[in-house]
Structure 1
Amino acid sequence: MLILFLCLALGILCRRYAPLPEGIVPGINWWVLNIALPALVLALVPHVTIDTRLWFPVVGMYVTFLGAWALFAAMGKALGWSPRRIGCLTLVCGLGNTSFMGYPLVEALHGKAGLSVAVIADQLGCFPMLAAGGIVVASLYSGRGASASTIVRRLLTFPAFIALLVGIVIGMAGGLPAALETPLLQIGQTLTPLALFSVGLQFRLHLRREQMGALVAGLGWKLLLAPLLVLGLGVAAGVSGLTLTVGVLQAAMAPMISAAILADQYELEPQLANTVLGAGILLSLVTIPLGNLFLPAG
């Protein structure tokens, strides 16, 4: 958790006080999406075992993403938002920080048993949604061409999606040898510090007035409405105990770091995306423990 704030603060301080080389943000973002994220996916996915008893936290991730897409598309139509804003909020507030924040928070609140459920939600829920759904949304709303063939081509050439498919095959074949898995994990571990440093370099709390409503709507969905919707789904389906609690907490996590980087790469209101991310990380440190008190295993 400490590295989240250190790297975010470093980015903010460097933007203000340090002479920065030209093109530093696009360069960092390129590494995060094309090297670090695929390496992490390739190292982790072969270890995933599908447990049909844990369908709920996985479906909760899909509900959070698709619900965000439906909500912000409807709000955008009603309020006259640009397609880029709709895409920005769908990406950043539809995908949660279920690993770098989710893992330590859930483990602190519910121990190793809770962490095992959180991992399923992250690797079977958020990873596929980012690798597949994220690139579809970015293509549709970025104005870079959204024909079916273009979207399919971008999806099939998106490094994280390729890594996801390769990781599944490797997992079925018995997994990676340690000599390959260790360096992939080490490369993947650069994702969090570099991504948050990049976010800090672009972080602005002083949004334009017309962006404030989007900020409130995005965080309102991610931190409150999405977990309530997932909770209602779980209760209606008869899910209870730790599985219900962790599934709801993962739906309530702050916006995903990699989603903000993807929004920046596709020019989907990057200033809004980075502010939503930074504010969401800070607020979730209050909303997650508070919400946990009202859940069955809390």
Structure 2
Amino acid sequence: MTQILLIPAFLLLGILLQKIKNLPTTLPKLLNNYLIFIVLPALALKYLPIIELQLELVLPITSAWITFGLSWLIFGSLGKFFHWRNSLTGCLIITAGLSNTSFVGIPIVRALYGDEAVKIALLIDQGGSFILVSSIAVIVASIYSEEKKRKRDITKKIVTFPPFIFFILAITMNLTNITPPEFLSIPLDIIALSLTPVALTSVGLQVKVSLPAIKNPYLWTGLGYKLLFIPFFVLILFKYLFQLDGLVLQVSVIESAMAPMITGSIIAISHGLEPKLASLLVGVGIPLSFVTIAGWYWVLA
């Protein structure tokens, strides 16, 4: 429960820090770089080499891929039909398409369903969300960025993206039964603990909540997809088509109902894809998701 309370606390801290005069304007960028270059690679080394890969848990992992794939299909199509700016389309695809399955999702899943459910949540996060944000999200960001890049440049950006490099390294270690050296255990734990406070503070620093911002129809389009449509779609698909039930179904739906991923918004921001909207989707989405997740929990009960 303490972990859940820290989520809005650090988000509020970031918003309050905006009031401090002479605060370095580069602080959000510095925090984002720390997350991308230090924290995400550390998480890959900490969790992926020791995760037990089980065939029966492949389906829950696909919930993250379905969420992102439908986001790309729907918002990509809407963007073409309504002639949206590429930056707007890319922002919605990435931010609404990635669930906050890790430092928001895992504490909530643990609180609702216990430690056994955390194993499923971790696989959804590492096998789905983490791979997506480390690779496919970078491709989408490069495609929809105003700064056009050649395919060769996009490929180079992905293969040199630190989280992707460490993801490949960690998966290779898993498949070859190699675990990280013992002396790295404590540093990795410390870095992993910094994820929630740093990421949420960074988002809070960039959230500009105002009446005009709240009225932004694209904000509610993205949150409507993320908090209502996609968990409903996953529930119907998994329960009635794939005949899933019990804990696997519950965790799959709850994880898909999480607010937009903070790291996804950071990817969008770093590529110039509507930074204000990307921050707002997370800043409004996280507190709002506590209400909608309670509703999905009741539906699944």
TM-score norm. by structure 1 comes to: 0.95
- Contact in 2 for aligned 1:56/1:244 (Cα 8 Å): no
1:170-211 residue CA offsets vs partner (Å, 9 max, x unmatched): 222331122113212312322221121111111112275797
The corresponding residue for 2:103 is: 100
**CA separation in 1, counterparts of 2:24 and 2:155?**
35
The corresponding residue for 1:276 is: 281
The corresponding residue for 2:82 is: 79
**CA separation in 1, counterparts of 2:90 and 2:40?**
21
- Secondary structure of the structure 1 residue equivalent to 2:147: coil
Give the stretch that moved more between structures: 133-142 or 48-57: 48-57
- Secondary structure of the structure 1 residue equivalent to 2:14: helix
Identity %: 38
- Contact in 2 for aligned 1:61/1:121 (Cα 8 Å): yes
What is the root-mean-square deviation in Å for CA atoms of aligned residues? 1.6
Report the residue type matching 1:189 in the other structure. Answer: L
Tell me whether 1:238 sits opposite 2:254 in the alignment.
no
- Contact in 2 for aligned 1:57/1:250 (Cα 8 Å): no
- Secondary structure of the structure 2 residue equivalent to 1:35: helix
Report the residue type matching 1:115 in the other structure. Answer: V
From 171, 189, 194, the equivalent of 1:168 is 171
Tell me whether 1:212 sits opposite 2:233 in the alignment.
no
- Contact in 1 for aligned 2:37/2:162 (Cα 8 Å): yes
- Contact in 1 for aligned 2:45/2:180 (Cα 8 Å): no
Report the residue type matching 1:250 in the other structure. Answer: E
From 121, 132, 138, the equivalent of 2:141 is 138
Q: Would the alpha carbon gap of residues 294 and 209 (structure 1) be closer, same or farther in structure 2, given more than 3 Å must change?
A: closer
**CA separation in 2, counterparts of 1:190 and 1:223?**
26
**CA separation in 2, counterparts of 1:73 and 1:22?**
33
Tell me whether 1:291 sits opposite 2:296 in the alignment.
yes
- Contact in 2 for aligned 1:253/1:284 (Cα 8 Å): yes
**CA separation in 2, counterparts of 1:53 and 1:209?**
43
- Secondary structure of the structure 1 residue equivalent to 2:19: helix
The corresponding residue for 2:162 is: 159
The corresponding residue for 1:44 is: 47
**CA separation in 1, counterparts of 2:123 and 2:210?**
37
Report the residue type matching 1:199 in the other structure. Answer: V
From 182, 187, 197, the equivalent of 1:178 is 182
The corresponding residue for 1:200 is: 204
Any stretches of 5+ residues in structure 1 without a counterpart? none
Tell me whether 1:189 sits opposite 2:193 in the alignment.
yes
Q: Would the alpha carbon gap of residues 211 and 133 (structure 1) be closer, same or farther in structure 2, given more than 3 Å must change?
A: farther
**CA separation in 2, counterparts of 1:3 and 1:18?**
25
- Contact in 2 for aligned 1:87/1:141 (Cα 8 Å): yes
**CA separation in 2, counterparts of 1:286 and 1:66?**
25
**CA separation in 2, counterparts of 1:144 and 1:223?**
31
Report the residue type matching 1:291 in the other structure. Answer: W
Shift of 1:146: 3.5
Shift of 1:47: 1.6
- Contact in 2 for aligned 1:96/1:256 (Cα 8 Å): yes
**CA separation in 1, counterparts of 2:25 and 2:209?**
23
- Contact in 2 for aligned 1:38/1:188 (Cα 8 Å): no
- Secondary structure of the structure 2 residue equivalent to 1:181: helix
**CA separation in 2, counterparts of 1:211 and 1:152?**
37
Q: Would the alpha carbon gap of residues 22 and 241 (structure 1) be closer, same or farther in structure 2, given more than 3 Å must change?
A: closer
- Contact in 1 for aligned 2:90/2:273 (Cα 8 Å): yes
- Secondary structure of the structure 1 residue equivalent to 2:18: helix
**CA separation in 2, counterparts of 1:139 and 1:220?**
25
